[in-house]
Chains A and B, each alone.
Chain A
């Protein structure tokens, strides 16, 4: 343990992300600025201009080009990073699938922001939920400190599994909110990451290859199955990398989930990102009154940790799932639907209530969090769900 070398600094989520990038010192960064993740690239480009990193920084004319450049650089064996939000991620959409099918490690930091329309710059998860099935690993962080540490882990995970990885933080709430961030030394980060060992490189002139061939009905399906295999194998690698990191630096950064008073809980809420902080506060207040409530913070949604959810939730009576995105399926948000699917095979399973909240940056207050638990307590008492989904913080 090297706790004596650790420093605590005040940084916003964007600053923490840019600082992690500086310490990682990637070979190539190609990006296009977009609110609320603009600052990450703004700060990072200053590091480049000041000669603090060796990175080849490529300012491009759109996010579509940004991710395309990242793919090109990654096929050459470079360590590659980018950042985006909302419409920018949407513009990258078709290229995201190419990155994952080519098995290219790329780490993309996303400041979660609502998708148009109406046009909105504030936080919700509709952008990354829209990229949910693109074959990328998706990690949602609660605060600036976690953003910093998770980005470092994401680089290692991405390069070990040979799959691209998104690291998320809530737009404005985390991207622009200043918090305590515990930072490592540059050497510690670089020593932990080592060098990238690419699966292949188009710059290896002695062993020429074709990247991006056509695969029609004869091979496409086999390639998709092999991608599923990669993401299945990523589960162990993700746990191992976080464990190694925590052991090495004496930290406790969660990998797939974080539990908060879940062990003896009757009622629990599954939440992601910054909203889980508010819910933890509500749990503290309710626990003081002797109520058996808890939180399961879901940090990684791809690969979806259904085995962990089954184990952690099977003995609960009622589970509420908080979604900061809509699916228009009329069954509630995307995470609640996946949690229901994950628990369906259990013989004894909890009642699951879907909650949609915080769309387009709508405030999620402590009162709202307590209201969520009140609704779940009522469901527990009556042992039945009345509505398929409930909107929290909505004007009726």
Chain B
């Protein structure tokens, strides 16, 4: 992303045109990624409830996607899963 020169900043460091968080892909930070096994999953949605970054996407009560653009790799989903359906795997660079 191109950084702005000082004259182009909003006065008072205010951010307009909110929300801007969707553009900020925090998934670039992660060291580990969740590996999801849909066979073991019972769709209890504990992982969805606990995920701090809204990574786990649900439709009609079922998990259909992990949006890894916003996953920081914290592993909370893996910890709370009662069926061992989510394993944390090291990211290969």
Contact = CB atoms under 8 A, between A and B. Distances in A.
A209 B18 contact: yes
Given A222-B5, A222-B6, A225-B6, A199 B18 contact: no
Interface stretch (A81-89, A98-106, A169-177, A238-246): A98-106
A211 B12 contact: yes
A212 B13 CA distance: 7
A208 B17 CA distance: 7
Contacts of A364: none
Contacts of A208: 18
A226 interface: yes
B39 interface: no
Contact of B15 (A102, A103, A210): A210
Interface in B50-67: none
A96 to B, nearest CB: 15
Main secondary structure on B side of the interface with A: loop
Given A222-B5, A225-B6, A210 B20 contact: yes
Contact of B11 (A199, A210, A212): A199
B14 A200 contact: yes
A60 interface: no
Contact of B14 (A209, A222, A229): A209
Contacts of A199: 11-12, 14
Interface stretch (A117-125, A213-221, A263-271): A213-221
B4 interface: yes
B9 A200 contact: no
A213 B16 contact: no
Contact of A223 (B3, B13, B16, B18): B13
A207 interface: yes
A230 interface: yes
Contacts of A213: 13, 15
B9 A210 contact: no
A211 B7 CA distance: 18
Contacts of A211: 12-14
B27 to A, nearest CB: 19
Nearest to B8: A222
Contact of B12 (A101, A218, A222, A225): A101
A247 to B, nearest CB: 29
B14 A210 contact: yes
What 9 pairs between A and B have smallest CB-CB spacing? A103-B12, A222-B6, A210-B15, A225-B6, A102-B12, A103-B11, A209-B14, A226-B6, A208-B18
7 contacts: A103-B11, A209-B16, A213-B15, A219-B4, A219-B13, A223-B9, A226-B7
Interface of A: 101-104, 162, 199-200, 207-213, 215, 218-219, 221-223, 225-226, 229-230
